[in-house]
Structure 1
Amino acid sequence: VSGMLEAFLGSFVIVLLMMIVLFRSILWGVLSMIPLTVTIGVMYGIIGLVGKDYDMPVAVLSSLSLGLAVDYAIHFLARSRHLRKEFNNWKETSEAMFGEPGRAIARNVIVIGVGFMPLLAAPLVPYQTVGALISAILLLAGLATLLLLPALLRLLEPFAFPKKKYSN
């Protein structure tokens, strides 16, 4: 377990670099990591507050949460870029984002999160830990994506959507 924290941090940096390459932008790469960072901070802050040790299930879920949480941000940001070009203003784009893309993210959170809930009834505590943490990570990541990213994109609109690139 001792090397898992270093492995997680290394994975975080690699995922950040992949997001920068995927979106071809440092800003968009960093934006894609914000819901994940908030999710990890809140989850592991709660784990620390309740006195749970950084044991094997928690360590494994740290890395697993990278892929699960960043997926929502990728979907949201890629779709918002596409819709922003179509509508040419953030008001209409954000309204459209909470149509199909927002519902897709919410459904994914519910289906996958609920799918891990039966582990709470498992006789072994590590399985219960995995079920509770994965469900909570998915819920927090989905909420962070749907609440933080629209606000940040609105705040950073001049930088995220430069006029020359996003005008018709």
Structure 2
Amino acid sequence: MSGFKSLKKRRRIQIIAVTFVALAGATALAGYAMRDGINYFRSPTQVAEAPPEPDEVFRLGGLVEDGSLVRGQGTQISFRVTDGSYEIPVIYDGILPDLFEENQGMIGQGRYINGTFEAIEILAKHDEDYQPRELTKALEEAGHPVDPAAADGAAVTN
């Protein structure tokens, strides 16, 4: 009878060990799959004070600086993004969102290479009262007041 109990106990320990190994493996696989999907948000001040590595993909957000928008050949465009404290030059080759314009909020995804943010994607706000949470926070940290209705990260309908 005691051999039966020790066999049950050993089987239970084996099941628990296999469960932990499977859970650790699943967690490792999920982390590996998401390694390229995690993009950190940075303001121009954060980029200027601690420039990221050239191979790091991240999101840069701020306001498109007035008078900085320059259209090149085809779909090439350059502009500066500011949070009121620092300006970061941006280059982008692609079709911009319809609502993209100067003095408006934007978030771009890309890399910071040789002092220029090379965007692979540009997002613009979608109505006059919307502002991404990250952009709102960055502007507030830079000492710029933000409309409380726009700070909830969702569109406000009138």
Q: TM-score range by the shorter chain?
A: under 0.3
TM-score calculated relative to the size of structure 2: 0.25
Structure having the higher strand fraction is: 2
Which structure is richer in relative contact order (CA contacts within 8 A, separation 6 or more)?
Answer: 1
TM-score calculated relative to the size of structure 1: 0.24
Structure having the higher helix fraction is: 1
